């Protein structure tokens, strides 16, 4: 493990050649440190995971990082960090490759698509801490390679002929993320990120499929509400507010 301190942000990041999970290590490191924020980055994960306990294939060349945040907001607002983070990733991509803006979209609740295929995903995890929550935001971006036979078609920056490596992306994302946290202001300015996210929302206004644990719902993706819940209008006119689920688009095989 190596520790680096960003001289501009005065924030540490811990770098590993290989680790089980950057999220797990972020929580472990937080036990010995009284700081509000730091990052963990690894070249490879042996036990990476995505939402709902799914395995996250973690070969070398991709970006695997986690940001630890000590009680970043009230418990009910912490889930907003998924939207804050993916918008910050969008900013980073646009800074490094301005043409990115025409290629990527945000897929509810916490993925980034490139030309309709999954390029990046987030895993938000929280643990109780002194009448609040400590949060770790894990981010995986397919820079060099992508997994096959996934529930949703994936891609990588290399596959899309975009020359951005994991280290450059991490450094740019880190600064964008810290700036995004300042704007978010502990959840008091979530509307800004809601609006930013909706500008690039995949499937907005169109028919989508939402798969829950015990049912599959088809309807029109109307918006997200102030809590980040997906608002789905069913074909009988009923409105459903969905807090968690997997979104698929009928026109895209995956």
Domain ranges of the chain: 2-199, 207-248
What pLDDT sits at residue 254?
37
CB 187 within 8 A of CB 69: no
What pLDDT sits at residue 52?
52
Q: Determine how many CB atoms are found less than 10 A away from the CB of residue 195.
A: 10
The class that CATH gives domain 2-199 is alpha beta
Q: Collapsing DSSP states into helix, strand and coil, what is residue 229?
A: coil
CA distance 241 to 190: 18
Strand pairing class (133-141; 207-211): unpaired
CB 115 within 8 A of CB 155: yes
pLDDT in tens, the chain (254 residues): 888 888 778 899 999 999 989 999 999 999 888 889 999 999 998 866 655 555 555 678 999 999 999 999 999 999 999 999 999 999 999 999 999 999 999 999 999 999 999 999 999 999 998 888 999 999 999 999 998 878 789 999 999 999 999 999 999 999 999 999 999 999 999 999 999 999 999 999 999 999 998 899 999 999 999 999 999 999 999 999 999 899 999 854 43
CA dihedral 22, 201, 147, 160 (to 10 degrees): -110
The class that CATH gives domain 207-248 is mainly beta
What pLDDT sits at residue 49?
62
Residues making up the chain, counted from first to last: 254
pTM of structure: 0.92
Q: Determine how many CB atoms are found less than 10 A away from the CB of residue 163.
A: 10
For residue 19, give both structure tokens: 């680790």
CA distance 200 to 196: 7
Helix (H) or strand (E) holding 13: strand 11-19
Q: Which residues contact 45 (CB under 8 A, 6 or more apart)?
A: 18, 19, 20, 21, 22, 56, 58, 64
CA 252 to chain centre: 21
Percentages helix, strand, coil for the chain (3-state, rounded to 5) are 25, 35, 40
CB 38 within 8 A of CB 68: yes
Strand pairing class (37-45; 11-19): parallel
């Amino acid at each position: 493990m190596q520790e680096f301190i960003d001289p501009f942000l005065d924030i540490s990041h811990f770098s590993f050649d290989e680790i089980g999970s950057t999220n797990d290590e972020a929580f472990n490191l937080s036990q010995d440190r009284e700081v509000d924020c730091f990052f963990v980055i690894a070249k490879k994960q042996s036990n990476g995971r995505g939402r709902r306990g799914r395995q996250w294939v973690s070969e070398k060349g991709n970006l695997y990082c986690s940001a630890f945040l000590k009680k970043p907001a009230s418990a009910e607002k912490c889930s907003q960090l998924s939207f804050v983070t993916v918008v910050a990733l969008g900013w980073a991509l646009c800074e490094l490759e301005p043409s990115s803006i025409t290629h990527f979209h945000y897929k509810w609740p916490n993925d980034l698509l490139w030309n309709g295929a999954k390029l990046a995903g987030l895993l938000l995890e929280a643990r109780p801490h002194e009448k609040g929550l400590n949060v770790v935001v894990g981010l995986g971006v397919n820079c060099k390679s992508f997994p096959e036979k996934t529930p949703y078609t994936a891609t990588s920056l290399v596959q899309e002929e975009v020359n951005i490596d994991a280290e450059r992306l991490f450094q740019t994302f880190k600064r964008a993320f810290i700036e995004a946290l300042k704007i978010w202001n502990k959840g008091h300015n979530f509307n800004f990120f809601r609006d930013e996210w909706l500008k690039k929302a995949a499937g907005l206004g169109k028919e989508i499929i939402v798969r829950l644990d015990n049912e599959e719902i088809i309807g029109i993706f109307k918006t997200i509400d102030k809590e980040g819940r997906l608002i789905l209008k069913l074909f009988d006119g009923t409105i459903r507010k969905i807090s968690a689920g997997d979104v698929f688009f009928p026109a895209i095989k995956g």
